[in-house]
Each structure stands twice: as structure tokens, then as C-alpha cells.
Amino acid sequence: MDFTDFLKKTFIFSSLEKPHYFALNKIAKVLNFKKSEIIFNEGEPAKGFYIVKSGKVKIYKLSFDGKEYILHIFSAHEPFGEVPAFVSGKFPANAEAVEDSEVVYFDRELFINLLREIPEISLKIIGLLSRRLYVFTKIIESLSLKEVPSRLSEYLLYLYRKNNENEMFELEIPKKMLANVLGTTPETLSRIFLRFKNDNIIEMDGNLIKIVDIEKLENYAEGVLK
């Protein structure tokens, strides 16, 4: 896949004209990170933003006692670090490569200059920031108000929609890491997976998931079933 094809598959840069992709290519910088390598630390000035080209990146915070809390996992074509970059702020969390990853970096100043030439991208940025606000609002709501079965259901529905509503998909991260994302323990997560399997809501084969009863999964996500 060439760089233009990659950009076309990202939310920010889809549906642009050919000259626009050429201009983006000129200011983009491709960076490689090994597994567990830090991309940026909390508190660093956000001088630009990133898009995952391959691999996976986790965004996380550390408590005072050093415990890690994963906020989100980003995979191919997904941007991260864009909110503080566009408001000239500091990164509010840490970013680390979950596996060997290739990311595309856009310097903030160069990108803003480009926005003046390609205003169509500005509308995409507004849409992205609005969507990101919605996602993190749902995360806060889920972690503070919903029980673990509802959180897991929401995550599985997220993957279902991300995979174009394909009923079969693969978990993007190990179950131990997923437990961290959902604010629970691996043991509790395993019990809920088993419950969903026994209730014929899903089928499982390792990290491969098949949704059998989408309606019941949606009910779990809404907290209707416990």
C-alpha cells in the first residue's frame, strides 16, 4: 500500500483531491517504534499528532503508586495525540507501542499552514474532535456507572462496528490488557467471557470472537441484563 492509499483510509484525509495528498506527503514523517517503546510522555508539549500506519499504540496514565490505567488502544489508520496538538497544549497521557509499530507524524505548525491551503481538512478535524469527545465521554460513563458485563459488551460492539458490522472479528489486544482497559481483573473478565459464551451471546476461539446474539449483547451494553 502506498502512502496515498494509506491516507485515503484515514478518517481525516479521506475524499481529498490528488494534489492534497501530495501536499500531505511532503510534511509527513514516518516513524518506527519497537514494542514497549515510548512515543510520548504525559506532560510533554504536543508539537504534532500521529496516525498509526501499522501495529498498535496504547494511551495510558500512571497513578501515584505506578499503576497503569489504559485509556485506549489505537490501530491502523487511527489518529492519536491530535487534541492537545490542535490546542497547543501538553499531552495529558502517555503513548507506547504495544507491538512493533509504524506511525505517521505531522508537525503542528506545518499542518496548520496546510489547513489554510486545504480548508476541506478543517471540517474533518472538527468531526474527528467531536467524535473523540463522544468516545471518551462514553468511556467515563462506562467506567463510572456501568458494571463489567456492560463495559465488555460495549467494547465488543465497538469492534463489531469498527469491522464494518462483521459478526466475526479478532480482539485487538491480549485479554490481560483488555481487562485493564475495562477497569477489571483478568479473572473477572474470563468469567464474563465464559458467561457470554454459555448464554450463546458469543462464540470464542482464542482471540477470535463471533457475535451470535447481537440484540442480547446490546441489552447488556445498556445494562438491561446483568
Look at residue 45 and tell me whether its pLDDT is greater than 80.
yes
CATH of domain 146-221: 1.10.10.10
Which three three-digit cell numbers place residue 203? 462464540
Q: Using alpha carbons, select from 38, 50, 43, 48 the residue that is nearest to residue 10.
A: 50
d(CA 52, CA 80): 8
- pLDDT for the residue numbered 202: 95
pLDDT at 137: 64
pLDDT at 95: 96
pLDDT at residue 213 tops 80? yes
Beta carbons within 8 Å of 9's beta carbon, 6+ residues apart: 77
Look at residue 141 in the predicted model and tell me its pLDDT. Answer: 60
Grid-cell match 499531552, residue found: 91
List the domain boundaries for the chain: 3-121, 146-221
DSSP reduced 3-state for 112: helix
CATH ID of 3-121, from 3.40.50.300, 2.60.120.10, 3.90.1010.10, 3.40.50.1980 = 2.60.120.10
Reduced to 3 states, what is the DSSP secondary structure of residue 143?
helix
Q: Check: CB of residue 91 under 8 Å from CB of residue 44.
A: yes
Least confident of 2-11, 49-58, 126-135, 208-217: 126-135
Q: Is the pLDDT of residue 147 over 90?
A: no
- pLDDT over 60 (residue 223): yes
More confident residue, 218 or 135: 218
